[in-house]
Structure 1
Amino acid sequence: MSDPMVRVGIVTTVLPRSGGPSGARPIAYFRRMALRAAELGAELSVFSPEDVNWAARRVHAWVPADLDRPEGPWRCVWRPLPQALYENVFVHLAVRGYTNGLRAQARRHGIPLFNPVLPNKWQLYRWLRHTDLARYLPETHRLTAPTQAIAYIHEWRSAYVKPIGGYGGTGVTRVEASRDGRFRVSADRLRQGGAMRRWMTERALATWLTTHARTPHLVQRGLPLMTLAGRKVDFRVVVCRGLGGRWRTVGVIPKRAARDGVVTNLVAGGERLDLARCRALAAREGKVIPVADLEECALAIAKKISARRPTTGLLGFDLGVDDAGRVWLIEMNPKPARSLLDAEMKRMAARLNAEFLVHLARRGRV
C-alpha cells in the first residue's frame, strides 16, 4: 500500500515519543485508529497545527513506517494535506483558541474537520427546546439579572448556576432555598480554585449573582437525581459515528458525586462506577438504571446535532435519571474524556473514529 488513495490526519499536541523497543510512535488510541484506517485503504498521520505548510498544501507528519503495522515504529515525513482532519487537542487549548487558525485554513482548503465547532450549553438548549427532544431538557434560562434568578430559585427551591462555556465542572454552583429565607450556595470547583459551601442572605446572593451575570451564565432548575448510598449519580453516554455515518453507542458510564457533591466530574471529586456494579448497587435500593432510555436519548440528540453539523462524529452526554426514572440532559461534552472509557470502549471508539474520518475523506467537502 505504497500510494494510498485516502489520507487522513489527527491534529494533536500529543505527538509520538521515542524510547522503548518499538521506537517513536503515538499513543495507543491513535495507533488503533491508524490500523483501522489502513484496513480501509487509508493512511493516517499525526501532527500538530504548527507542522502544516498551508501554502504548499503539505504537512510534516508522523506516519507508520509500515502502514499495515502501526504498532511498530513511526517516522516523520512530508505528506500532502490530508483529505479529512480529526482535531484532538486538549479542551483547555481549544477553549483558548489554539486551533482557530487550523479550522479557518481547513475551511479555506475544503477539508472536512471532525468535529466541527459545536453549540455551547445555551445554544444547544435553544436548538432543542422547540423539537420533540424538549422532553429531555430541564427548565433553563440565560442569567440576566439577580432578581430574575432569585425568582426562579424561590419557585424551584433548588437551581444550578452554570458558566455557558465552562467545562470540567468548574464554576457550576448549586443554590438551595431554605425555609428561613437564606440560601445555601455550593460549588465543588471554583475558577480561582477550591470549593465553596456558604450560607447567604437574599441580598448577599443578589450581589453574588450580579458578579456572575457579567459573564455568560445559565440558571437551571435543580433535578431530584437518582442517588446511590446517598450520593447523586449521573451517566456519561459516549456515542460515535462509523462507516456510512451511522451513530452507535460506545458506552454508558455512571459517575457518582462525592457526598453533598455538586457535580460528578472526576476532577471535582466524583467517582467513576462500572455499569454492572452501578446496577447492582441500584437494585439493593430498589432502583433501576434505564440504560436503553439513556442510549435512546443520547443517540436522538446526536442525530439532531449532526443534521445541523454534518461532520460531527463523537459526542459525550451527561444524562441524569430522576426519582421517577425519567431521563434528563444535563449537558453535552464535545470532547468527552477517554479516561472514562474502559479498554473495550476505547478500542471501539478508536475504530469508529477512524471509520468516520475515512468516510469524511471519501465524501470530500461537507
Structure 2
Amino acid sequence: MKERTERKKTTQATSKQSEPPQAQARTILAAPHIVANPQADVPPEGPAAVDWDATLAFRHHLWAHGLGVAEAMDTAQRGMGLDWQGAAELIRRSAAEAKAAGGRIACGAGTDQLATPAPTVADVRAAYEEQLTLVEEAGAQPVLMASRALAATATGPDDYLAVYGGLLRQVTAPVILHWLGPMFDPALEGYWGTRDLDAATETFLQVVAAHPEKVDGVKISLLDADREKALRRRLPPGVRCYTGDDFHYPELIAGDEHGFSDALLGVFDPLAPLVAEAVRALDAEGPAAFRAILDPTVALARHLFEPPTRYYKTGVVLLAWLAGHQRHFTMVGGLQSARSLPHLTRAYELAAELRLFPDPGLAEHRMRLLLELHGVTR
C-alpha cells in the first residue's frame, strides 16, 4: 500500500508542474532508461517487453524538472536488450508525449535493424536513412548514433566521410552527431577509421566542417575532458558540444575562458533533481554555484560508470526503483544481474548521501528487500 501511495504522490507532483523552468545558460538533455514489464513471458534474448506507462512517466519526470530528453540512446539499452522494433515504438510514443508536454526531445537514429552479418557501406547508409526518416516523421530531433555495422564494414576514414556526408546533405533540420567510445561499446573500437584518437578527431571534425549548417551539435562520449575541451574549441561557430563525459561533466558544463559544453548524459537520469537545481544556480549565480551542487555527485557517477562501463544502466535502473519511479528492479535482457551486490549497495549509499530519494524510508526498505533476496541480513 505504501508503494502505491508513493507512486500516486509522485505522479501528482509531476502533473502539477505544467510549466517547468528551462535552463537559459546551457542546453541539458538527459538520456533516460526504459522500464521493463516483469510479467511478460519473454526470454532474455527475445524482444524487449516494455512497461510503457512507467517508461513514459519517467520522461515526464525529466520534463517537469526542465530537462530535455535524449530518447532511444544507449541508456535505454539500445543494442543491449532493446532492438530496433522496440526503439522505433519508444521513439514514436516519447515524441508524442513530448509534443503534448511541450518538452524537448531528441532521438537516436542508428543502424541496429541490420540483420546481415557483413553489410555493405551502402546497406549501412540505407539503414541510417530508414531510422532518420522515422525520427523526423515523429517530430523529434535526430541524434546520429555511432554504428556498430559501420565500424565493422568501413575500410577507412573515407567510408565514414561518405556515409555521414550523404546523411547530412539530406536531413531536414540540424542533427546531433554522437561519438561513442569503446568503453561504452567495445564494438565501436576504431570508429572514424582508426584507433588513433588524434586522427579520428580530424575525420570527425572534417564531417562537421563540411556541413556546419546541418549539425546542431556533437556529443562526445570518450571520458577524456582534455580531449573534449580541445575539440570543442575547433567546432564551427554555432555548433554546440554536448558533453557525454559522465566523469567530468561539472567542469565541462561550467566551462572556462575558452567556452563550455552543453550536455547529453545518461547519468542525468538519476541526477535530474540536482541537475535542475544546478542549472538554475548557473543561470542566477554563475559557475561556482553550479559546481557547488554538482561536484559532489561525481563520486556516484564514477561508481555507476566504473568498468565495464557499458553496464552503468543497471545502477541507473536500481536508483529509479529505489526512488519510487517504478515498482520493480527488473530490466530487459535480464541486465539487472550485470552488476554485483556490493556495487549496487554502494550505489544506494552514495545516492542516499546526496539525498536523491524523495522517500528515504521507501528506498531503505527496497534496498533491504534486495539484500535479503540475496541472503544478506543486517
TM over 0.5: no
Higher share of residues assigned strand? 1
Instruction: Return the index of the structure with the highest Cα Rg.
Output: 1
What TM-score does the superposition give when structure 2 sets the normalisation length? 0.26
Higher share of residues assigned helix? 2
